[in-house]
């Protein structure tokens, strides 16, 4: 059986979406499927080494056929250019996919960006294939909540696109129970299409890795209590709140907020830190997927942030990475996020609503003082992931519904 995965992000790009889709591709390959991936050409969220490489348009990468399509800029640009780029993607992708692929039985589209669902619908008809959507962010609602999408004509346009995408799909996976209920309520006539498929994590990448202080020495943080944020720094994360929080706990001299990654908000955050003259916040570039487990193991707490402007139950993927690495989680999320439920159920850390600065400061001080409990938080998180979000469990569920 031929399976085509469509995503705007795939390794070597470093972000939750790219790793999720690579792990899905590998899992399907290992189960005997012929796997094709159509993605954009690597330009964003790269290590310095990867940034200087050239990539072929079509290649076989350990048994997975990967097509990399050059598109208009779609990250670290203003939202008008980003919108134009995303709307044009289906047309560019379609011609390239036809060039390299003669047949596919199943198409899996990762959304966002939502316009790729239109591509999926066109390919479904062209190949007479089954179409599955993996919906992560509920667009356009998340863009409306963040104030990014305000024009009523564009709101109507994208809401119609969303509706059409759901109608054309044979099956729609969402990553949490809260997202399931939201979409069922919004689309009751097609409620039977929606199924929970939790985001997964490859636990094996952390097995056998212990703290070796590689990154503590590299960053000169040997004796610090490191609170790590690793990932994309965009408007959805609301990381200016973390800078404000860092200012509140400056008296805790051993604490360092370590930001590792990139994104359209990074320059603004660095400027904010300089203006406040903070010495407890530092920024470092992305590390590779292979190096990520060593980075995480060198830290004390994993930080997750989502601005309260978000109104959907989205669960940041990095929560699962921290849990799989046995790292306690400290989360500041919108009240609707199912991340609060996961952290509480797993007893793997602490969380509160993003924007509540007094509560957030209390949690930082509490987790700093409770160093003896950190190991328990870490073990609890690992066991919870093992039983609920292990890659093999989730991929088997996808296959069961796919075939």
Q: What pLDDT is stored for residue 77 in this prediction?
A: 65
- pLDDT digit string, tens, across residues 220-269: 999 999 999 999 899 999 999 999 999 999 999 899 999 999 988 999 99
Q: What pLDDT is stored for residue 76 in this prediction?
A: 66
Q: What is the pTM of this model?
A: 0.85
Map out the domains of the chain with their CATH numbers.
2-197 (3.40.50.2000), 203-388 (3.40.50.2000)
The C-alpha atoms of residue 340 and residue 14 are separated, in whole angstroms, by 25
Q: How many CB atoms lie within 10 A of CB 217?
A: 11
Q: How many CB atoms lie within 10 A of CB 364?
A: 25
Q: What pLDDT is stored for residue 145 in this prediction?
A: 86
Sheet of strand 349-353, all strands in order from the earlier edge strand to the far edge: 281-284, 255-262, 225-232, 301-305, 329-333, 349-353
Structure tokens at 221: 């943080």
CA dihedral 368, 373, 379, 383 (to 10 degrees): -100
Q: Is 194 helix (H, G, I), strand (E, B) or coil?
A: strand
**Per-residue pLDDT of the chain in tens (403 residues, 90 and over written 9):** 999 999 999 999 988 889 899 999 999 999 999 999 999 998 887 887 788 889 999 999 999 999 999 988 766 666 777 778 888 889 999 999 999 999 999 999 999 889 999 999 999 999 999 999 999 888 888 888 888 888 899 899 999 999 999 999 999 999 989 999 999 999 999 999 999 999 998 888 888 888 888 999 999 999 999 999 999 899 999 999 999 999 999 999 899 999 999 988 999 999 999 999 999 999 999 998 889 999 999 999 999 999 999 998 989 889 999 999 999 999 999 999 999 999 999 999 999 999 999 999 999 999 999 877 899 999 999 999 999 998 898 999 999 998 7
Tokens 């193991």 locate to 297
CA dihedral 346, 339, 113, 161 (to 10 degrees): 120
């Amino acid at each position: 059986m031929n399976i085509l995965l469509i995503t705007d992000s795939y390794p070597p790009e470093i972000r939750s979406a790219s790793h999720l889709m690579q792990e899905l591709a590998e899992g399907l390959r290992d189960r005997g499927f012929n796997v094709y991936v159509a993605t954009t050409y690597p330009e964003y969220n790269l290590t310095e080494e990867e940034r200087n490489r050239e990539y072929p348009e079509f290649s076989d990468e350990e048994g997975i056929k990967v097509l990399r399509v050059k598109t208009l800029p779609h990250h670290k640009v203003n939202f008008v250019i980003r919108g134009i780029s995303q709307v044009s993607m289906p047309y560019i992708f379609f011609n390239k996919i036809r060039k390299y692929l003669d047949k596919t039985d199943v198409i899996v589209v990762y959304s966002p960006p939502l316009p790729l669902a239109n591509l999926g619908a066109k390919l479904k008809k062209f190949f007479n294939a089954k179409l599955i959507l993996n919906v992560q962010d509920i667009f356009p609602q998340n863009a409306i909540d963040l104030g990014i999408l305000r024009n009523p004509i564009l709101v109507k346009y994208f809401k119609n696109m969303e509706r059409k995408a759901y109608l054309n799909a044979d099956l729609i996976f969402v990553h949490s129970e809260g997202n399931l209920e939201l979409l069922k309520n919004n689309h009751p006539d097609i409620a039977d299409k929606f199924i929970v498929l939790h985001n997964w994590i490859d636990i094996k990448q952390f097995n056998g890795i212990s703290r070796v202080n590689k990154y503590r020495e590299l960053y000169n943080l040997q004796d610090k209590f490191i609170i790590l944020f690793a990932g994309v720094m965009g408007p959805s994360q609301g990381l200016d709140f973390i800078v404000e929080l860092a200012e509140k706990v400056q008296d805790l001299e051993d604490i360092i907020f370590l930001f590792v990654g990139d994104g359209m908000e990074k320059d603004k955050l660095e400027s904010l830190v300089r203006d406040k003259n903070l010495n407890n916040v530092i920024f470092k570039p992305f590390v590779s997927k292979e190096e990520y487990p060593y980075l995480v193991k060198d830290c004390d707490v994993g930080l997750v942030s989502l601005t309260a402007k978000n109104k959907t139950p989205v669960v940041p993927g990095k929560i699962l990475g921290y849990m799989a690495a046995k790292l306690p989680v400290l989360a500041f999320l919108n009240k609707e996020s199912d991340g609060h439920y996961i952290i509480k159920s797993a007893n793997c850390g602490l969380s509160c609503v993003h924007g509540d600065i007094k509560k957030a400061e209390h949690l930082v001080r509490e987790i700093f003082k409770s160093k003896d409990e950190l190991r328990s938080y870490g073990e609890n998180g690992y066991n919870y992931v093992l039983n609920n979000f292990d890659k093999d469990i989730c991929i088997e569920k996808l296959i069961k519904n796919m075939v």
